Each structure stands twice: as C-alpha cells, then as structure tokens.
Amino acid sequence: MTDGTVVSEKGEPAPMGRRVGPAPLVNAANALTVARIVLIPIFVLLTVASDLTHPGLRIAACVAFFVAAATDLVDGWIARTWDLVTSFGKVADPIADKALTGAAFLLLSAYGALPWWVTVVILAREWGVTALRFWVIRHGVIPASRGGKIKTALQTLAIVWYLWPFDSSLAQAGPWLMGAALIVTVVTGVDYVARALRLRRGGILVHGAPDHAAPDHAAPDHGAAGGAARGRGTSGQDQSSQDH
C-alpha cells in the first residue's frame, strides 16, 4: 500500500474491489448463498403441493427454482468482482448448488416425470466430482471448463422446462433438453476424473522428488501476496475455479 493506494504484487494498482485482509462474513455474496439455501425448502414444498399437476403451483415452484439457480451466477460475480471470498462461501456455495439441483431431480423422478436412472447418473456425477475436488485439493484446484458451464445451463433449462406447465407440444422438448444435459454431464464428469488423476499424479511426483530436483519442478514463490491471490481462485463462489 502506497499513499493509501492498494498495489498488486507487481507494484501496479490493484483492481477495484481487492482488499487487504479477509473479507467480512456478512456480505452480499454470502447473503445470496443463504437466500438460495432458504429457497430450496420453499421450492420443494411448492413442488410437492403442486403434485406436478396444479398449473399455478407448478409455475410458483418453477419460479422459485429459477430464482435460486440465478443467485448462483450473481453471488459468484459479486465474490469475484469485490473480493468477498470467505470460508463460509467456499463450503456453503457448492453445497447449496448440489442440494438445489439434487432436490429438483429427485422430485421429478418421484413424481414419474423423469426416469430414476437419469437422476442416479446425474447425482452420482455431481457428488462424485465434489468428492474428487476434496481428494485433490492439497495438490491444486482444477479450473472449471466451458463444458461444465454448459452442463449447468442445460440442467437448469431442462429442470425449468419440466416444471413449467407447457402444453403437450412444447413439453415434448423437455426430454431432448434433459438428454443433452445428461450427455454433457457424463462427458464433463469423465473429463474431470481424468484431470483430477493427472493433477494428483503430478502433485505426488513433485512432492516425492529429491530435494535437489525441487527447484526444477516447483512453481515460483511469489510471496504472501501471490499465495493470497491464488487462494482467491479456490473459492466455491469463484466460478473461474469451480466445476458446475
């Protein structure tokens, strides 16, 4: 910091929103994450009350789901732009995402709108990827791919399509959207497993190398500021480092 101006590790002014010290727990990004968590039981209750037959309640359930899903995009943008990453956000954000989509898939299958095998495959991929992230976290973070973002968008669109009371002609598009979401979900899951194995194998090789070989393999040490900058990339709210 020079004359009250925050500078980056390269000596240049830091981007707007970057702070010195940890972000406060109570902030806009975390508030949106909590709002998404609160909306999950509301969405579930509306769906159960609709029995997927009452048009008005189905619309309400669909709106609740869509608003909850939209908060994931907004809280990620806020966290990245204003450097509001917290430990709470790292844990709560991905859990809220998986809980929301998981509840939607389970409800759709429970009411006979979606085959159970589709729900099992998708949820196994989602929670399996979460487990893999923890498995390799000591070796690094795998950046989210374009496919992961497409997967999230397709899943959200397919669920919305199933929930909204379309007439029979438009409703026929639902299985096609869900099929596309399923294919992308499986493909990106396989890719994530391959990248996780490469990352873990590389980490083991680096950490297991002799001391004299460490400088050839180790990443440059940028000091505390560099470590903090890298740490921001591991947030659950940071869409650039999270597979959705």
| CB-based contacts of 197, cutoff 8 Å, min separation 6 | none
- pTM listed for this prediction: 0.73
| CB-based contacts of 178, cutoff 8 Å, min separation 6 | 114, 118, 158, 161, 162
Above 60 in pLDDT, residue 47?
yes
pLDDT band at 204 (very low <50, low <70, confident <90, very high): low
Residue 61 and residue 160: Cα distance in Å, rounded? 9
What pLDDT score does 141 carry?
66
Above 70 in pLDDT, residue 17?
no
Classify 51 in phi/psi space as left (phi over 0), alpha (psi -120 to 50) or beta: left
- If 0-12 CB within 10 Å is exposed, 13-18 middle and 19+ buried, where does residue 232 land? middle
What pLDDT score does 78 carry?
85
Least confident of 20-24, 127-131, 233-237: 233-237
pLDDT tens readout for residues 54-110: 999 999 999 999 999 999 888 878 877 888 877 787 778 888 988 999 999 999 999
CB atoms within 10 A of CB 4: 5
Reported for 21-24, long-range contacts at CB under 8 A and 24+ positions apart, including other chains, are: 22/86, 23/83, 23/84, 23/85, 23/86, 24/84, 24/86
State mean pLDDT over 162-182.
Answer: 95
Residue 56 and residue 49: Cα distance in Å, rounded? 10
- 208, amino acid identity: G
* Residue of 17 and 159 predicted with greater confidence: 159
CB of 241 closer than 8 Å to CB of 144: yes
